[in-house]
Chain A
Amino acid sequence: MKKLTKRNILYVVLPIAVVVALIILWEVLVNALDVPRYILPAPNAIWAALLKYSDWLYSNMLYTLQQIMVGYAITIAVSIPLAVAVTYFSILDRTLYPIMVVLQLIPKVAIAPLFIVWFGFGNLPKVLMVFLLSFFPLVVNSILGFKSINHRLLYMARSITDSEFRTFWMIRLPWALPSIFAGLRISIAFAVVGAVVGEFVGSDRGLGYLLLRANGLMLTDLLFACLIVLSLLGIGLYLMITLLERIVMPWNVFKKELTKSGGAATM
């Protein structure tokens, strides 16, 4: 268990202090050097913009969040069953898996304009962009997780039961969970990128749209405000995945703590 030692407090306080110091330095330098607002607004100007445009930022944030959630849900619904299929059917493993690995190398962002041609300016191209960017990390990590199973464990399972379902549910799936969650964490970051790119290419709503708009109007303070909201959105989603991970895999949290503290016993 974590203790509030002097060192732990220092580890929390120190990074915050550094960030605060940097913001103050920024404020001072911008004012001292008289940097034009449209190039680099001072922190207090950005803060003012955050408050001034808060309604606008909020409604656009909701739209972007919606695209992310829908796209990410599709990612989960497709990736995990696909990973299971690849694990069980070696024919898929030999055909589909290499194709996916190669496809992963294509710069997917470059496909965004094509989506506009195909699917217009509605929600679909954005959702697809979210899916496309977040799909690969999740599916590849899940497959690696399922494949890393200890085969002697499967021998043991087969000597106990014929039920492939129980073997999957009690052994294969929990075994793969740490990898699946690693994939989920990478994927959520990509999902945010996907939504912004989707909105960049063709949208009249969302934080990506607002970013471009602020850029066009030379409202650099609003642009920074968008960036902050977008970052907070990304961090919030990431933390939600981490929270879910703690709920689903309490033993894993425990394991991490053990390894961190030097560990009483080794695995």
Chain B
Amino acid sequence: MAAEKCVSVEFREVGKTYESISGKVEAVDEVSLSVQGGEFVSIIGPSGCGKSTLLLMAAGLIKASRGKIFVDGNPVEKPVRNVGFVFQDHLLLEWRTVKKNLLLPVEMGKNRKISDERIDKLIQMVGLSGFENRYPMELSGGMQQRVALCRALITDPNLLLMDEPLGALDALTRQQVRYELEKLWLERTCTTLFVTHDIEESILLADRVVVMSERPSKVMEVVNIDLPRPRVFSKGIETEFDKYKIHIRNIFERIGVLGSKAHAR
């Protein structure tokens, strides 16, 4: 396990205001959050609350309007290297086969060497053996997202950023890919920020869940999830699990995202 390679991420009073022709949009009001190396942190909040913005800022792909972000103790000023990205859409290149898609970060990054063994192992772990030379369009949605997951992990990233990676999948496939995700993550722990709008999903994989308010967003609460791993097949954690679920639901009801107040608007 290469946990020592894992980087910490720190948001220090970070805010983001988008400026467009139609005016200013306050996406993130103020977020302070400290993520330790090797931690899995879920970020949950209503849509449009700037969750994705937080990820892009952490990767150094867009600039924060206020505050500072540190990755591995260094202030983020340009794109952070060795970051794995998974988005809601798989973003596989349709002109590349599965294997070539996996190798894209290697070919583009140039300086890294990846052994065939590692590729084969990844492919095998997510059940894609035999599909190496297929084009993405030949795969089902779940398989496509699995390839996207492997692509993000191929270079052994120090930081994994996932923006609703299961959002586009149907309920059953979602469970399956979630299982693969946990398996892959346990095999090689790295610092992970996981954006979602699904309460169950946020709890299931996380060490901590960051609950965000509506735009302009703030951190409402950080919930520590104290459940044994692996969680997908663990029996007997249902009651504990439900406790966290209700807790987070209550936060959203309190701030008016869920419940009677939300309906009244």
Contacts and interface: CB of A to CB of B under 8 A. Distances in A.
Nearest to B143: A265
A251 interface: yes
23 contacts: A152-B91, A156-B87, A156-B91, A157-B108, A159-B59, A159-B60, A159-B79, A159-B83, A159-B85, A166-B107, A170-B104, A174-B95, A177-B95, A251-B95, A254-B135, A254-B137, A255-B94, A255-B137, A265-B137, A265-B139, A266-B141, A267-B94, A267-B136
Interface of A: 150, 152-153, 155-163, 166-167, 170-171, 174-175, 177, 249, 251-252, 254-255, 258, 264-267
B141 A251 contact: no
Nearest to B161: A159
Contacts of A170: 93, 104, 107-108
A170 B104 CA distance: 8
Interface residues of B, number: 28
A158 B139 contact: no
Interface of B: 56, 59-61, 79-81, 83, 85, 87, 89, 91, 93-95, 104-105, 107-110, 135-141
B89 A150 contact: yes
A170 B81 CA distance: 19
A169 to B, nearest CB: 10
A255 B60 CA distance: 35
Nearest to A154: B61
A249 B104 CA distance: 18
Given A158-B61, A163-B108, A170-B107, A251 B94 contact: yes
A174 B93 contact: yes
A155 B86 CA distance: 11
A153 B96 CA distance: 14
Nearest to A248: B95
A180 B178 CA distance: 39
Contacts of B83: 159
A119 B59 CA distance: 57
B85 A155 contact: yes
A161 B91 contact: no
Given A264-B138, A265-B140, A266-B141, A160 B109 contact: yes
A175 B79 CA distance: 23
A60 B93 CA distance: 46
Contacts of B109: 160-161
A252 B93 CA distance: 12
Contact of B56 (A155, A161, A175, A258): A155
Contacts of A264: 138
B91 A159 contact: no
A161 B155 CA distance: 13
B105 A160 contact: yes
Contacts of A255: 94, 135, 137
Contacts of A162: 79
B247 to A, nearest CB: 32
